[in-house]
Amino acid sequence: MAESQLATFAPFTAPMTGEKPFELLGRPAKYTVLYFYPKDNTPGCTTESIAFREAYPEFQALGADIYGLSRDSLRSHENFKSKLGLPFELISDADEAVCTQFDVMKMKNMYGKKVRGVERSTFVIDAQGRLVKEWRGVKVSDHVTEVLEFLKSQP
C-alpha cells in the first residue's frame, strides 16, 4: 500500500494492555509510533521490543508514544510486557483487522514452508492521524535508531 493510500486509512480501535482500548485518533502525543511484529517471546521480536524500551525516554522527549502490535492475545501481551519491563502498551490484533488495514500480512518462508504472517513494519502517525513515515520488511538491528533519527529530523 502506498503512503498516499495509507494517509487516508480509517481510524481504528483495538484491544490493548493496560485495560483501555487503543484509539488511533485523539492521542495526546505529537506522534504515534506503531511497530508491527510477528509474535511475542520470539528472538527478533524480543530484541526489537527491548530496543524500543531502551530508547523510550528519547521517544517521549520527541513527543512520540510507542505501541507494539501483533496477533497475540492480550494475555500473551501482558506476560510479554511484564517479562521485558516494557514502559509502553501492546495492541492485540487477533482478528488481523489492523494488520490488514496496514497491509502487513504477507506470505513468508519459515523453515522451508510458506506461511502467512506479520511483516515486521513500523509506522509513524501524527496527531491528526496522518501517516508521516513507514518502514516495511524491517531488519531489527539499527531500526529503532532509524525511527529516532527520523523523528529528530521533524520540525
**Which residues does the annotation mark as catalytic?**
45
Torsion of the alpha carbons at 96, 97, 100 and 105, rounded to the nearest 10: -10
From the number of C-beta atoms within 10 Å of its C-beta (0-12, 13-18, 19+), residue 124 rates as: buried
Determine the Cα–Cα distance for residues 134 and 38; give it in Å rounded to an integer. Answer: 17
Q: How big is the chain, counted in residues?
A: 155
Beta-strand relationship, 31-36 and 64-70: parallel
